[in-house]
Amino acid sequence: MTDSPKRGFARRASQLTPFKVVDFLDAAMARQAAGEDIIRMEVGEPIFSLPAPMAAAAHHAQSNTHQGYTSSLGMPALRQAIAHFYAQRYGIDLDPARVIVTTGSSAALGMVCDLLLNPGDSLLLTDPGYPCNANFVHRCDATPVRIPVVAENHYQPSPEDIQRHWRNDTAGLLVASPGNPTGDMLSRSALTALHGAVTQHGGTLIVDEIYHGLSYDEASEVSVLELTDDAFVINSFSKYFAMSGWRLGWLVAPEEALDPLRLMTQNFHISPPSLAQHVALAAFEPECIALFEARRAELRARRDFLVPALRELGLRISHPPPGAFYIYAGIETLADDCEAFCWDMLARAGVSITPGTDFGHFQAHNHVRFSYTAEPLPRLEQAVERLAKVLARREI
Ligand SMILES: Cc1ncc(COP(=O)(O)O)c(C=O)c1O
């Protein structure tokens, strides 16, 4: 038999970029497993126990129902509950038919990109932004075009940015509000202006609202659904509802997109996880919502402690982030390589944080992200003490 040349992998596989936080997460967990006391500030998921009504729903569903496939768009009762949630929170009359329950918002992001992007197209993203977005675009053989965003504009793009970065092949813009890694938000007027700028070019606006429910101060969360029916909305049970491991999210789509999305989800996922949907349904019970709101207050207290404490250590934080559970901080006066800085802090302070380079290129090397969702306030105080000690001894 003659050896035929080995076929390589598709080009898109080589375009994938790593999700660096996972390297830090793995390293932090390995140190913990080896008995080290690591303060976890790299993880982007809330670590809270399952509220009793949700645990009861899981138990009941497991004992009484067959955990088979559900409707590929999600259980009708859950789609109805999500639509009702929009009525309660935002006063929006949302047709449940426009709600598609997905396997985490990751599946929703993938499907929207699959729907909107032809090979050779481009999609505008923010820099910094959620690292996986660029890879969803690569998966379509399309190009992510990153718009550098600055603290002065709340780390969000402006209509002028859209004008400047729009190309003939641009299909639209994906923004997150509150965003990851900055926690910054789009006001109603900023969101309206962005929607106007995108539609003026004949493009599509996608808004990732996964951190809705987690905003502090007076900053009000505006859903793009309050402004228009022609945008795509990404959301999830992973953050406010603290169900990250259950892998459940949702997508609200314009009516004309429902048919192709139904075919995609049928073919690519068959259905979202059944047990998770029963649990998510219970998440809307008043007792659970009250608990999520108490957690929101707890997260605000953590943020309010950390912002001044980190500034005191020399980290640059332009303004307290209004939402999510992240602080995106400049380390210009402390180090010139964020990855080396994060590895150093993990090894010497036992504090695990994420390098800015996970979130893009623009000024990334002198930023780091602190997540304040995994550890209670006393542990965060301890983290600051440890960092202070190490930084006092450290030479750049
Ligand atoms: C902005 C943003 N969008 C989407 C996701 C994906 O989340 P999931 O698939 O758990 O819903 C994340 C996860 O951290 C995120 O930060």
Cα of 395 vs centre of ligand 1, distance in Å, is: 36
Cα of 109 vs centre of ligand 1, distance in Å, is: 9
Query: For ligand 1, what atom is nearest to the CA of residue 103?
Result: 9
Q: What is the CB neighbour count within 10 angstroms for residue 132?
A: 15
Query: At 18, is the pLDDT very low, low, confident or very high (cuts 50, 70, 90)?
Result: confident
Cα of 233 vs centre of ligand 1, distance in Å, is: 13
pLDDT: which is higher, 170 or 62: 170
Beta bridge partners of 267: none
Residue nearest to atom 13 of ligand 1 (CA): 44
Q: What is the CB neighbour count within 10 angstroms for residue 290?
A: 11
Tokens representing residue 144 in the block = 């992510």
Query: For ligand 1, what atom is nearest to the CA of residue 45?
Result: 14
Cα of 59 vs centre of ligand 1, distance in Å, is: 27
Q: Residues near ligand 1 with C-beta < 6 Å? A: 44, 104-106, 130, 176, 180, 208, 210, 236, 238, 244, 249
Per-domain boundaries in the chain: 11-49+288-393, 64-285
Which positions ≥6 away from 269 have C-beta within 8 Å? Answer: 72, 102, 103, 107
CATH architecture of structural domain 64-285: 3-Layer(aba) Sandwich (3.40)
What 8-state DSSP symbol labels residue 121?
A: -
At 192-226, the pLDDT tens digits run 999 999 999 999 999 999 999 999 976 689 999 99
Beta bridge partners of 206: 174, 232
| CA torsion angle 306 340 128 385 (round to 10) | 0
What 8-state DSSP symbol labels residue 51?
A: P
pLDDT of amino acid 137: 97
Tokens representing residue 266 in the block = 């049928």
Angle at 143 between CA 199 and CA 182, to 5 degrees: 75
At 284-338, the pLDDT tens digits run 999 999 999 999 999 999 999 999 999 999 999 999 999 999 999 999 999 999 9
Class of domain 11-49+288-393 (CATH, top level): alpha beta
Q: Is 392 exposed, middle or buried (0-12, 13-18, 19+ CB in 10 A)?
A: exposed
What predicted TM-score, i.e. pTM, was given to this entire model?
Answer: 0.95
